[in-house]
């Protein structure tokens, strides 16, 4: 397993070993004892799957109680973490990792950080584990195009496909987080 720290405090890129042969491959995508040793604490209490067509942008979403472990099982996504934790050394910064099924990489998003992704291919299948159950009363939504974050989404001049909810998200300043 390869573990690399990301520029957001506590965030990590994790690449589990994949064992290949002429039949395909096998990989273990989570074992609590191994992930605890590499600094990915649990317990994870909810798993979610999202399927998106190309140019679908989901986010930015967060919950101060909830960490996530995210991976792409099919397709490719530009996956973003934005730090909105008051007092964090990386507060107000973002980082991104392109995740694709063939690369096997996962990202760990610490509690209190925002998460969003742009599907780069049709039928992109994203799996993510959460350390808290979803509760809309705790969810934080921030505009995907917040000028203070200035995320460089790979849209090549086209507009993303957004839900009505994500289209209405306020900026960090409007939410009082900056």
Task: Please answer whether residues 115 and 80 qualify as being in contact, where contact means their C-beta atoms are separated by less than 8 angstroms.
Answer: yes
Catalytic residue among 61, 104, 108, 115: 61
35 is catalytic: no
Task: Please answer whether residues 151 and 106 qualify as being in contact, where contact means their C-beta atoms are separated by less than 8 angstroms.
Answer: no
- Give the residue from 108, 109, 69 showing the smallest Cα distance to 85: 109
108 is catalytic: no
DSSP summary character for residue 157 = T
C-alpha 123/C-alpha 127 separation (Å) is 13
If DSSP codes are grouped into helix, strand and coil, which group holds residue 113?
Answer: strand
Catalytic residue among 35, 108, 115, 128: 128
Q: Residue 13 half-sphere exposure, CB side, CA atoms within 13 Å?
A: 17
Strand 139-141 relative to strand 46-52, pairing? unpaired
C-alpha 68/C-alpha 112 separation (Å) is 10
C-alpha 3/C-alpha 71 separation (Å) is 14
Catalytic positions are 61, 128
């Amino acid at each position: 397993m390869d573990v690399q720290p990301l520029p957001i405090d506590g965030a990590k890129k994790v690449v589990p070993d994949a064992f290949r042969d002429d039949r395909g491959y096998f990989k273990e995508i989570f074992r609590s004892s191994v992930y605890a040793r590499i600094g990915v604490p649990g317990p994870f209490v909810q798993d979610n799957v999202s399927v998106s067509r190309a140019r679908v942008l989901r986010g930015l979403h967060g919950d101060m109680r909830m960490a996530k472990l995210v991976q792409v099982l099919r397709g490719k996504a530009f996956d973003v973490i934005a730090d909105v934790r008051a007092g964090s050394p990386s507060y107000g910064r973002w980082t991104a990792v392109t995740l694709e099924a063939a690369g096997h990489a996962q990202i760990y998003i610490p509690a209190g950080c925002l998460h969003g992704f742009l599907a780069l291919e049709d039928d992109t299948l994203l799996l993510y584990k959460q350390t808290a159950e979803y509760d809309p009363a705790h969810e934080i939504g921030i505009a995907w195009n917040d000028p203070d974050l200035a995320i460089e989404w790979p849209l090549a001049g086209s507009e993303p496909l957004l839900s009505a909810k994500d289209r209405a998200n306020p900026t960090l300043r409007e939410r009082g987080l900056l």
